[in-house]
Structure 1
Amino acid sequence: MMRRSALAVVAVVVAFFLLTGGRPAQAQFSLAVSPPRFELSTRPGERVRDVIELTHRESATGSYKLKTADWIFKPDASVEFSDELLPGSCRPWVAIERRELSITSGRPYRFRFEVTPPPDTPPVECRFAVMIEGKEAATAPGVPVALGARIGVIVYVAVGDVAPVLELAGSAIQTVDGRPTPVIRVRNTGNAHGRLAGFLSGTDASGTALELQPGTTPILPGETREIALLANKPGDTETSVAVRFPITIKGKLEWGRSGSMPIDQRFAP
């Protein structure tokens, strides 16, 4: 069983633009969620359990509703949640501790969920979300309607022998966050999601040596995704830098337990 251990402090904000004045108004509830994503594994007929830690950040007691949802990862990297069961949904295998919850400020509440695939389940990756939303709609000064806010915790469960198979399917230069950026197209022919990791070496038009990291966007089975290669100075992974094209990029990216993808590409406008 693998579990993402990073802590996400999520202040969920829903913005509503007034039709009359065009000024944005905001309403929010504040909740710390740890971890923001789960990657679990089990076998057919075997139960897997885990815990979401929820920490309420306001002095007054918070009331929340919880449920499961299916989700679609759209081409623009946004997520669309669905209360309806999508084709192939594994949500009937999922049980959550409760559907309503009150949390006082301070100590985290450990919210439990479990997944039990049927004994005859073929190898598959089960994907769903645990949705958390304020029981009472939030309000904001000047907004004539109540607003809702919610958090979706993404869960992947590998049932049986599943794995991604990632391969390079092309490259391009695209604008990312206002900058021209080298991008690789990655195809997943496996039966589980995958992510790229690692560092590549690059030399741009000025002869400057750069390190490049792939974006952490998941590539779902059967999909082809465009993954940006974000440049920084060697040894400084926190500060991104602009690339002067053309740039030659070489190295190897890792995925899955033992997969790797060699990269030897020249990116030119």
Structure 2
Amino acid sequence: MLRYRANPRAWISGVLWLLGAAAFAQVGIGVAPPRFELVLPPGATTTEVVVVFSRNTPDQRIDVALVDWLNGIDGALRVLPPSTAPYSAAGWLQTSVDPFTLERDGAHAVRFTVTVPEAAVEGSYWTGLAFTTAPRPVEREGLTALMRTRAVAVVYVTIQGTERPAAEITGVAVQQVPGKGRFVVVDVVNRGNVYLRLNGELRFVDAAGEVVWRGPLPERVLLRDGVARYTLPVPEGLPEDVVLAAVEILPKGPAGSYGGPTLYGEVSWP
């Protein structure tokens, strides 16, 4: 059994929905670790602990719920009821969903147990534990609004020995957006059965084959059956003899495991 947790002192959760920046400034909560990347054999059971923190806040009630979630082609997150998303692991997770009081600058530990079915499962599944503050009044530009903050600890479960990582760049294009400039648009499709974490870089190459500019791509999570679209602004001041825009992406599998070969794509520069 393999367990992986992100930095246990990380403040911001792996998935964090805020109803306005002011809400987090005045009602700050976070979870540690922000995500659990569990690799378990069929039939296995494990108990884990997530800690909910508060910062610069009075005592407040925290509601607990299981949620499903998906990320869109642009990386935008969508929260769903539990056991409604494809490859949901919500039915495998048990925990208390009773509300609790989080004291000022305090911490509260929440235990949860994941039990993998004995059969008929392969690849990656996921769910989340959502912690939501009670509504609180927030002053913004002379107006008072009721704001709630929700932090979600993401739980990935991958079935050990069934992993088939595979991804493909299906398109690289240059697009001109009126009033915004030019962008390199890259689409990546998950062809395998596990989630992938994508990192890489964008390069511009001149007529002599030299890289004249390079920059990192923002990290993206590519779920099973998912598509990730990078819309990358073209930097200013590129040399006139640039002939190619190229992208290189290194996928990583669950818990940092092998995620398949490096992906390459390119497009001739206008």
- Give the TM interval when normalised to the shorter protein: 0.7 to 0.9
**Structure 1 residue 133: deviation in Å?**
0.5
- Deviation at residue 260 of structure 1 after TM alignment: 1.8
Q: 252, 255, 262: which one pairs with 2:252?
A: 255
Q: Distance in 2 between matches of 1:49 and 1:32?
A: 20
In structure 2, the partner of 1:120 is 119
Conserved 8 A contact 2:171-2:265: no
Taking the aligned partners of 1:243 and 1:255, their CA distance within structure 2 comes to 33
Could you tell me the TM-score, scaled by structure 1's length?
Answer: 0.76
| Matching residue of 1:193 | 195
Aligned to 1:90: 89
In 1, Cα distance between the equivalents of 2:182 and 2:40?
Answer: 42
Indicate how the Cα distance of structure 1 residues 267 and 229 shifts in structure 2: closer, same or farther if over 3 A, else same. Answer: farther
Structure 1 segment 139-178 matched on structure 2, within 5 A: 139-141=137-139, 143=143, 146-160=146-160, 161-174=162-175, 178=180
Matched, 1:14 2:19: yes
Question: 1:261 corresponds to which letter in structure 2?
Answer: T
Task: Say whether residues 1:42 and 2:40 are aligned partners.
Answer: yes
Q: For 1:5-24, what per-residue CA distance to the aligned partner results, in whole angstroms no more than 9, with x for missing partners? A: 27133796424xxxxxxxxx
Structure 1 residue matching 2:220: 3-state secondary structure: coil
Deviation at 1:58, TM superposition (A): 2.7
Cα distance in 2, alignment partners of residues 46 and 182 from structure 1 = 44
C-alpha RMSD over aligned residues: 3.3
Contact 1:72 1:80 in 2 (8 A): yes
Could you tell me whether the CA contact under 8 Å between 1:174 and 1:182 is conserved in 2? yes
Amino acid in structure 2 at the alignment position of 1:152: V
- Measure, in 1, the Cα distance between the counterparts of 2:36 and 2:201: 24
Taking the aligned partners of 1:221 and 1:144, their CA distance within structure 2 comes to: 41
* Residue 151 of structure 2 is aligned to residue 183 of structure 1: no
After superposing the two structures, state which structure 1 stretch, 203-212 or 88-97, moved more: 203-212
Kindly provide the CA deviation profile for residues 72-128 of structure 1, in whole angstroms up to 9, marking residues without a partner as x: 222332111122531553312111244312222345333222211121242132211
Are 1:215 and 2:218 counterparts? yes
Query: In the TM superposition, what are the counterparts of 1:22-101 in structure 2 within 5 Å?
Result: 27-28=23-24, 29-86=27-84, 88=86, 89-101=88-100
Gaps of 5+ in 2: none
Partners of 1:205 and 1:131 in 2: CA distance: 52
Return the alpha-carbon distance in structure 2 between the equivalents of residues 78 and 250 of structure 1: 22
**Contact 1:247–1:267 (Cα < 8 Å) also in 2:** yes
Task: Give the whole-Å Cα distance in 1 for the aligned partners of 2:248 and 2:269.
Answer: 18
Task: Report the TM-score when normalising by structure 2.
Answer: 0.76
Query: What is the CA distance between 1:216 and its match in structure 2?
Result: 1.5
Are the structure 2 counterparts of residues 32 and 148 from structure 1 closer, same or farther at C-alpha, using a change threshold of 3 Å?
closer
Matched, 1:109 2:124: no
Give aligned pairs, total.
249
Identity of aligned residues (%): 21
For 2:252, the aligned partner's letter is W
Say if 2:166 and 2:191, in contact at 8 Å, map to a contact too.
yes
SS at match of 2:91: helix
The answer to whether the Cα contact below 8 Å between 2:246 and 2:267 also exists between their aligned partners in 1 is: yes
Cα distance change, pair 154–253 in 1 and its aligned pair in 2 (3 A):
same
Determine the C-alpha separation between the residues in 2 that align with 1:27 and 1:264: 41
Structure 2 residue matching 1:80: 3-state secondary structure: strand
C-alpha change, 1:181 and 1:56, in structure 2 (3 Å) is same
Amino acid at match of 1:167: E
Greater relative contact order (CA < 8 Å, ≥ 6 in sequence): 2
